[in-house]
Each structure stands twice: as C-alpha cells, then as structure tokens.
Structure 1
Amino acid sequence: MRDTIYCAIGDIHGELDRLKALHQRVLFFVEQALGGLPVQFIHLGDLVDRGPDSCGVVEYLRNFEHVRHPNPITLRGNHEQLMLDAFLSGDRQSAKYRTWLTNGGSATEASYANQPASTLVEHITWMQGLETIHEVKDAGLIFVHAGIDPDIFPGCDDVVHMWTRRREFMDPRCWTAPALQGQRVIHGHTPTRDFEPETSGSGQRVNIDTGAVYGGKLTAVLIQPGEDDIFLHS
C-alpha cells in the first residue's frame, strides 16, 4: 500500500495516557502535514508490565482495532509472553508466575485488581492470538518486538522475535540472510541509552524502544516508502 503511512509504536508498558496522546499526535500530524493519508498502526509489543495501567492499555488496543482503518496490528512481546506463561501455568506459586511478578507483573496484576474476572480471561485470550512479526513485503518492512536472526531469516521462531538482543542483529553489516536484502527491521525491546530512536546502517534497523517506563519517551516512527522517517513522541 504505497499511499499508506506505516506507524510503529514502541514498548508501551502500561502507559495508557501517553499511548492515547501519541495516537492523537500522530493522527493530527498526518492530517496536517501528510494530507490525511491512511495510517497503518503497528504496536510492537510489551503492552504490559511495570507501568501504571496495563489492563487499560490492553482494553484500549482491543477496542482501537475496531475503530481504525486500516485495522491496527498489535504484536506480542516478551512481557505478554511472560504474562501468558504465568497465567497458563495455573499456579500462582509456580516459577513462571514468580518470574512474571518480578519482571513488572506485579504492577499488571494490580491493574486488574478491580476488574471482573472475565476481563482478564478475555485479555489473555486476545494476547494468545497475537502474532510476533508483521511483514509488508512490497514496502520492504519487517515489524517485530525484539528482532530477527540475521543468518536464517525468515526461518527464526517466536522466541527470537520476542527476546533476541543478539549483537549480529544490532549491526546490519552482519546480516547474511538473503531474504533481508533490501528489507528494513523496525523493533523495540532494547531501551536506547539516550532515550532517542536508534537507526543503524543505512536505515536497515530502527529501534524505537525509547524507555517510556524508565523516564524516557513513548515513540512512534512514521514510515512512507521513499521518504525520510518521522519520529513523534509523547
């Protein structure tokens, strides 16, 4: 879709108010500066944990899917997977549940405290159905939470998509998989040191985890093939 703006948003981590503000800023900017072209939103995962309202973020994005066109896409990050593993273990005393709690899950658990049990069940079911990667092949774009295996792409699995911080992925000069020729990878997962977006190589890799839950920014990148990337923050 060459007349579409692709808008990827990095790790949200329960920051509902900032997510809403960023959506509004993106849509206003596109209307005013880019002629109101359609916006394809892609949320790169890590919706939950650490921040103040993980439950609210999930509910908001579930509804957002139905009110925007093109339909927004939300990917599963490692924190969604930690939450899924915890609840699907069926045991609050299990190692998986304790691991989740100590990695920001306690804040997520608190955000569900006053919600009906059905809300949690619906959210867990929704998260189970999330993909871990989204490709727009005709635009040369790969959206993923953490990254890909630069040697065997597209043969890497969900674990790589959600968890990798492999050095060779971070340096596009080390990418050897033929399928990555002419492709760009947009990801989060690894907070940038200066809370600014990070672009590597000649734009082949773009990291937009700018540490929103650590005192940094929540970042969106607007991509229009053939044009310079535009970064917006809240």
Structure 2
Amino acid sequence: MTQRIYCAIGDIHGELDRLKDLHDQLGFHVRKYLRDADVTLVHLGDLIDRGQDSCGVVDYLIDLEARMGPRAVTLRGNHEQMMIEAVREQNAESRSHWLEWGGEETMDSYRRRGLDGPPDHHLDWLQSLPTLHHDTEQGLVFVHAGVDPHNFPDCGERVQMWTRRKDFFDARCWTSPDLVGQTVVHGHSPTEDNEPDVAHGGRRINVDTGAVYGGQLTAAILVPGKAPTFLHS
C-alpha cells in the first residue's frame, strides 16, 4: 500500500490571505520536491475568530473539501465550538464569552458580506467536522488541542478541542498503549517562539505558531520516514 503524505496546518484564526499563500507554497513544494505526489491536507481547527476574515476562511475550506474530497480534512477546534454554542443555543453567557474571545471580529467578517451572522450552512458544516483524524497505518494522530495520554482514543471531543494538560505535552508521561508508535500533531497552544515544536523525538508536533498574535501560520509536511518539513506564511 502506498504510504500517504500529509500536510497539517495550524490555527488559522481568520487569516485567509496567509492560508491561501501557504497553500500556494505547498503546491510549489509538492511540484518541486515531491514529484506531484497526492498530499492529504489537514487543517487542525480554530479556523475562525480574532483575524480579519473568518467568514472567508470557512467559505474557502468548504469549497476546498468539495474539490479535494477525502484529501482535505478539516478538524473542529474550540473556537468553532464556541461559535456553534453561542449562535445555536441562544445562551447569553456563551455568546458573551465567544464575542470576548474573538467572536466580534468573526461577526464583523459576516457583516461585511451583508449577513447578520454565520449562516446555517456554515454552522452545519462546522458542527459536522470531526475533532480527531487518526491514520493508524501511518502512525499519525491529528487533533486540535491534544488527547488524554492515558485513555486515548477514548478521550472525548471536549478534551480533543480544549486540553492543555501537562502530561499531554510531555510524551514521556503517555501511558495509553494506543499511543505507542504514534505521532500526535496538534495546534491550540501557541508556541513561545512562534516556531513549530517537535518534541520527544517527534512524538508530538505543535504547529500553532501564533499567526494571529504576530507570529506565523505554519504547515508541517509529513513524509513517511523523513523529518517534517515546515512552510510558513
């Protein structure tokens, strides 16, 4: 069986122009160095909030999935979950919390398109997104925030979207037998130096490099048997 090449992209947070630039860079890299190989794209969640064009990012990724089919995977992050709960549950506390944590910029991106908020087809798509993509044959776990290192894969969506537990960040603490030989690729927790973090011999890779905090948007190209290659925008 042909081994699959993946490209994982960290927290976008409404940075549509950077996302498009990163995809262009990836296309060039694949043509020049990977002989036009098929690459599966994984966007690791937190597509929206804080940046300038969250609406545009959602439209762009919906179209990308329609064109690429199973070679485009998008995960749901905690910011997507906050928006879904704020808009669909009509809970004042949830809405206030979401707006404070970047939702106001997202609402502005919809208003600029003449909308009073995210339309149902955006919310339906975001709600349908998985919170984990696990390629057991390749030994790769893609998740927004992280996993429970002792109960994986039975950790639940909330953990996968929200966790920052210390024993996840230290792969030496992982006890779940299902994590043996696996690499976990995630975002959610911006790295301190705005550079990707390849930890514990590559068992954990963090590609949230703070694009919306003055850092960069990062893609990790994962070719079986090779160290990851990183692209930035």
Q: TM-score range by the shorter chain?
A: over 0.9
Alignment of 1:31-180 (within 5 A): 31-68=31-68, 70-91=70-91, 94-113=92-111, 114-116=113-115, 120-180=119-179
CA contact (8 A) 1:40 1:72 kept: yes
- List runs of 5+ in structure 1 lacking aligned partners: none
Alignment of 1:184-199 (within 5 A): 184-199=183-198
User: Counterpart of 2:222?
Assistant: 223
- Conserved 8 A contact 1:220-1:232: yes
Percent identity reads 52
**Could you tell me whether the CA contact under 8 Å between 2:39 and 2:71 is conserved in 1?**
no
Where 2:231 maps in the other structure, the secondary structure is strand
Q: Which amino acid aligns with 2:204?
A: R
Provide the secondary structure at the position in 1 that maps to 2:202.
coil
Structure 1 residue runs of 4 or more that deviate by more than 3 Å after TM superposition: 115-119
Secondary structure of the residue aligned to 1:48 is: coil
CA RMSD of aligned residues (A): 1.3
Q: Give the match's secondary structure for 1:139.
A: coil
Structure 2: distance between partners of 1:79 and 1:187: 15
- What is the TM-score normalised by the length of structure 1? 0.96
Distance 2:173 2:3 in 1: 32
> Deviations for 1:51-106, whole angstroms, at most 9, x for unmatched residues?
00000000000001122265300000000000001001225xx0000000000000
Measure how far apart 1:31 and its partner are: 0.8
How far off its partner does 1:119 sit? 5.9
SS at 1:122 equivalent = helix
Give the aligned residue type for 1:129.
S
Q: Using the alignment, how far apart are the partners of 2:204 and 2:145 within structure 1?
A: 11
Extract unaligned runs of 5+ from structure 2: none
Question: Residue 26 of structure 1 aligns with which residue?
Answer: 26
SS of 1:36's equivalent? coil
Q: For this pair of structures, how many residues does the alignment match?
A: 232
Separation in structure 2 between the aligned mates of residue 14 and residue 106 of structure 1, nearest angstrom: 12
The residue type paired with residue 12 of structure 2 is I
| TM-score between the two structures when normalised by the length of structure 2 | 0.96
1:117 and 1:152 mapped to 2: Cα distance? 41
Please tell me whether the aligned partners of residues 84 and 124 of structure 1 are also in contact (alpha carbons under 8 angstroms).
yes
Q: Distance in 2 between matches of 1:172 and 1:51?
A: 32
- Structure 2: how far apart are the matches of 1:130 and 1:70? 13
2:212 corresponds to: 213
